[in-house]
Structure 1
Amino acid sequence: MSKYEQALERIDLAHKDDPTTVTVNDTTIPYELHYAHQMTMYLERLDPNASELLRLAIRAQHLRRWESPRSSYPATKIGYHSWRSNLQREQAKLAEKICIESGYGEEDAARVGAMVRKADLKKGDPDTQTLEDVACLVFLDDQFDKFESSLGDEEKMVDILRKTWGKMSEAGRNEALKIKLSERGAALVQVALAG
């Protein structure tokens, strides 16, 4: 087994511990494993020639996310940003550890960790932008309807959609327009993009 295959296997084993499950094609699987597979599927659409390191960062995007629920931080903007940055740091550390245990050198492991943290997103790093695009696509395709119904605030949802759109590259936006959304989701996207 190659170091890439070992790292992928270890990442997926970590996802399998997620106590939240989802049923896909009559099979119940841990949600974060499903999420990781969705991330890989969208990466294949955006960049079928992606490097091993980007593929690992994509797969590790939500590593053990359930261990730090959003509810463990204050329901404020500062609380949200603290939760996200702490979570990304922990996920990056774990991704780096998995890479090293699988045979990658420190530099490659650090690169995977930096992508998981989205450290170079604002500097225009193309791999980190691809990871951001993929995360936005999975949100729109797999999480949007549930999130929207739990939020119950149309104005806030339109704002979130505008921010999501703003995070994506042109390639990501083009792929987003191909997603078959629910009737409600499509209407909200239309409002968000019109404003």
Structure 2
Amino acid sequence: MSARKQAVLDAIDAANTQDPNLDDGQPVELLYGQRMSAELDRLFPDASDVLQIAARGQHVERWKLARSEYPEGRAGYLAWRKAQGVHHAEVVMAMMEQAGYGADEIEAAGRMLRKQGIKRDDDVQALEDVICFVFLKWYFGPFAAKHSAEKIQSIVEKTARKMSAEGRARVLSEFDLPEHLASAFET
């Protein structure tokens, strides 16, 4: 691993250790970043340094923009999500600049974190597939336990739509989903 990539990953982890929210005694976003890196390594073992950085920084400092600071409803949620993407990109891009990355690599990471080019840019799509796998593997069960069957179905369908055909096929081969949920991933 290059020294500059390690410096950025360490900076992301250092920022995320400040997360006041804990999951099993660990800062939530530190754990999320580690899960993103592990899943990226599993799904895309030849990922570029920039994609590896974007995956680790996907939720950097996420707790700093509270959902409660945005209006209720879908429009407020989407505004919050967009603001999160911009924030994550700005933080990671500054860390990359500090570590000596060039402008093209820095901007590529920013595009990935802002999800610009999903379905058109292979790296942006790879990041989105990893995000969806991490959600399904680590967060879907607790989410499903708190929501109605209709909400669960809607979220699964939205998740599937964001994924590549290859990602959806892997979901079907790796997860034992009930037929009504699995059908969302069928191509």
Residues 1:7 and 2:3 aligned together? no
Query: How far has the Cα of 1:108 moved from its partner?
Result: 1.3
Contact 1:46–1:172 (Cα < 8 Å) also in 2: no
**Pairs within 5 Å for 1:115-130:** 115-122=112-119, 124-130=120-126
- Aligned residue number for residue 52 of structure 2: 55
Which stretch shows the higher mean deviation, 126-135 or 39-48?
39-48
- Aligned residue number for residue 89 of structure 1: 86
**Pairs within 5 Å for 1:1-195:** 2-23=3-24, 28-122=25-119, 124-150=120-146, 152-179=147-174, 186-187=177-178, 190-194=179-183
Could you give the per-residue CA deviations for residues 144-195 of structure 1, whole angstroms, max 9, x where no partner exists?
1222223x221121011011112111332233235456xxxx33xx213336
Contact 2:172–2:182 (Cα < 8 Å) also in 1: no
TM-score (norm 1): 0.87
Contact 1:141–1:179 (Cα < 8 Å) also in 2: no
Query: How far has the Cα of 1:2 moved from its partner?
Result: 1.1
Could you give the per-residue CA deviations for residues 44-69 of structure 1, whole angstroms, max 9, x where no partner exists?
12110100000000100001111112
Which stretch shows the higher mean deviation, 165-174 or 37-46?
165-174
- Residue aligned with 2:71, SS: coil
Shift in CA distance, 109/194, structure 1 to aligned 2, threshold 3 Å: closer
Give the letter aligned to residue 141 of structure 1. Answer: K
* Long gaps (5+) in structure 2: none
Shift in CA distance, 71/146, structure 1 to aligned 2, threshold 3 Å: farther
Contact 2:9–2:53 (Cα < 8 Å) also in 1: yes
* Long gaps (5+) in structure 1: none
Give the letter aligned to residue 125 of structure 1. Answer: D
Aligned residues: 183
Give the letter aligned to residue 26 of structure 2. Answer: I
The CA distance in 1 between the partners of 2:113 and 2:140, in whole Å, is: 22
Contact 1:61–1:116 (Cα < 8 Å) also in 2: yes
TM-score (norm 2): 0.91
- Residue aligned with 1:104, SS: coil
Cα RMSD between the aligned structures? 1.6
Give the letter aligned to residue 72 of structure 1. Answer: E
The CA distance in 1 between the partners of 2:173 and 2:38, in whole Å, is: 14
Contact 1:162–1:193 (Cα < 8 Å) also in 2: no
- Residue aligned with 2:19, SS: coil
